[in-house]
């Protein structure tokens, strides 16, 4: 006898898995936010340049990028519990090593180890977990998955800044390590081995073949490469950018927290919009908002205007991340969603590492991020072309919520 579906037409098992997925994605994002707040202090202690720090981040992201397709395929085959749990444990141990490091070589070595582990504990496995357990409200569940991430991470910038002031950056990194290690144990205890796994050998074989000949696939790649280049570069450099302008570290952390917290509303809202219209139509609105956010950031002077910007940007930024899995499911179905997400994230994270390195290089050369923000404004405006094409021509292959 099948388990009763409640509440809201979904099983308790699905809602429990959603909670675990929120914690996993939150931990993944929190590490980047934490290190962003700590960056200038770490550089000051070791006398490294921002380009050197960005290079270490690039090493980690290269390892993450190379692992993404394998993580997606492995999620379809062995399930989300194995991928999420192993990834959380390895990242936790790596962060312990970072808290104890005393050389740039150690940072580079830890970055190589941490990259694949972060790929395991990120959105690929968590999204596959949620999409395969939810039936009636998949879009809303994906929105909650990403919105919950924002709720939990809203306090990370301020907590990191406070811990930095009170105990130093090493304790702040060690605290994040503890979060990952506890998460790994929780995943092992709560999730079932089959959760997030593709159903049946046929689905697994389909998961090995990505739709390289489908124009919709390439439209999604082009769109999200641009989106990830912008939103991740801003996340990594926003705190330093604001303090460079003379604003206090706590104010900069508050602005970062504001946009993250507002995303807790934005992601579910765009999930609901995707349920009622389509994920592709919602993506058009998100891209317009991201283009406006990029264009207005480098013209803002007033702290109150910055807070208003953080609210607007937080809404659309969270929507962009939430809609990726929904757009893929809408166009290609959920049977191979792990492999599809892994393939897309290979390109997205590749764009992230190149964009981060370039953004840091702009600052080191000019002493300002202005040129970078202007370039991202142009990029996000151009991204409206493939996004609009996908909306008009990308007819869904399968009904996503049947």
Q: To the nearest 10°, the Cα dihedral for 85, 198, 129, 311?
A: 120
Instruction: Check residue 169 and give its pLDDT.
Output: 83
pLDDT, position 395: 55
Q: What is the pLDDT of residue 36?
A: 74
Q: Residue 225: what pLDDT?
A: 94
Q: CA–CA separation, 394 vs 396, rounded Å? A: 6
E strands, 73-119, are: none
Measuring CA to CA, which residue among 272, 401, 250, 235 is closest to residue 330?
A: 401
| Residue (of 119, 114, 61) closest to 90 by Cα position | 114
pLDDT of residue 401: 39
- What confidence score (pLDDT) does residue 7 get? 58
Mean pLDDT over the full length of the chain: 83
Say what the alpha-carbon torsion angle 277, 154, 25, 278 is, to the nearest 10 degrees.
0
Per-residue model confidence as pLDDT tens digits over 155-203: 777 777 777 777 788 888 888 889 899 989 999 888 877 776 776 544 4
pLDDT at 145: 85
Segments of the chain scoring below 50 in pLDDT: 1-3, 201-205, 207, 397-402
Q: Give the other-Cβ count within 10 Å of 282's Cβ.
A: 27
Model pLDDT, residue 226: 95
Side-chain half-sphere CA neighbours of 231 within 13 A: 27
First to last CA, the chain: 22
Which long-range contacts (C-beta less than 8 Å, at least 24 apart) are formed by 333-337? 333/397, 333/398, 333/400, 334/131, 334/132, 334/138, 334/400, 335/198, 335/199, 335/203, 335/206, 335/207, 336/76, 336/198, 336/203, 336/206, 336/207, 336/209, 337/76, 337/127, 337/128, 337/131, 337/132
Q: How many beta carbons lie within 10 A of that of residue 8, not counting itself?
A: 11
pTM of the model: 0.77
CA atoms of 174 and 169, how far apart (whole Å): 9
Structure confidence at residue 203 (pLDDT): 46
> For residues 395 and 375, what is the distance between their CA atoms, to the nearest angstrom?
32
Domain residue limits, the chain: 12-393
**If we measure between CA atoms, which residue out of 347, 357, 342, 282 comes closest to residue 316?**
282
pLDDT at position 204, please?
45
Query: Considering the domain 12-393 in this protein, what is its CATH number?
Result: 1.20.1250.20
Q: What are the start-end ranges of the H helices in 279-369?
A: 279-297, 303-332, 337-366
Q: In the numeric block, which tokens belong to residue 90?
A: 């390895």
Looking at residue 383, its pLDDT comes to 97
Task: Say which residues have a Cβ less than 8 Å from residue 208's Cβ, sequence separation at least 6.
Answer: 73, 339
Q: According to the model, what pLDDT value does residue 269 have?
A: 87
How many C-beta atoms surround the C-beta of residue 15 within 10 A? 17
């Amino acid at each position: 006898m099948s388990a009763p579906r409640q509440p809201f037409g979904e099983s308790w098992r699905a809602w429990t898995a959603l909670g675990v997925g929120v914690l996993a994605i939150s931990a993944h994002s929190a590490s980047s936010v934490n290190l962003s707040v700590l960056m200038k202090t770490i550089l000051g202690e070791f006398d490294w340049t921002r380009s050197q720090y960005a290079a270490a981040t690039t090493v980690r992201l290269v390892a993450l990028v190379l692992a993404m397709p394998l993580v997606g395929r492995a999620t379809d085959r062995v399930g989300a519990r194995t991928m999420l749990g192993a990834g959380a444990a390895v990242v936790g141990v790596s962060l312990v090593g970072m808290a104890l490091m005393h050389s740039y070589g150690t940072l580079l070595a830890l970055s190589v180890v941490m990259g694949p582990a972060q790929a395991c504990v990120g959105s690929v496995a968590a999204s596959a977990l949620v999409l395969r357990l939810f039936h009636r409200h998949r879009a809303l569940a994906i929105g909650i998955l990403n919105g919950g991430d924002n709720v939990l991470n809203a306090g990370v910038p301020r907590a990191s800044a406070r811990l930095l002031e009170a105990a130093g950056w090493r304790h702040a990194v060690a605290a994040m390590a503890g979060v990952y290690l506890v998460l790994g144990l929780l995943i092992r205890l709560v999730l079932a081995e089959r959760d997030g796994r593709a159903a049946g050998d046929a689905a697994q074989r389909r998961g090995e073949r990505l739709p390289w000949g489908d124009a919709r696939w390439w439209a999604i790649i082009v769109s999200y490469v641009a989106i990830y280049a912008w939103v991740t570069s801003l996340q990594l450099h926003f705190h330093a950018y604001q303090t460079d302008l003379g604003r206090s570290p706590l104010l900069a952390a508050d602005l970062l927290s504001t946009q993250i917290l507002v995303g807790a509303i934005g992601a579910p809202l765009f999930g609901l919009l995707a349920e009622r219209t389509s994920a592709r139509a919602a993506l058009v609105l998100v891209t317009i908002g991201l283009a406006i956010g990029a264009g207005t950031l480098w013209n803002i002077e007033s702290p109150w205007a910055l807070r208003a910007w953080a609210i607007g940007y937080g809404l659309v930024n969270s929507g962009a991340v939430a809609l990726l899995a929904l757009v893929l499911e809408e166009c290609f179905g959920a049977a191979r969603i792990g492999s599809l997400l892994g393939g897309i994230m290979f390109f997205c994270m590749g764009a992230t590492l190149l964009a981060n390195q370039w953004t840091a290089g702009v600052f080191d050369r000019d002493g300002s991020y202005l040129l970078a923000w202007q370039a991202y404004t142009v990029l996000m405006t151009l991204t409206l072309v493939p996004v609009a094409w996908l909306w008009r021509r990308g007819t869904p292959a399968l009904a996503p919520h049947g």
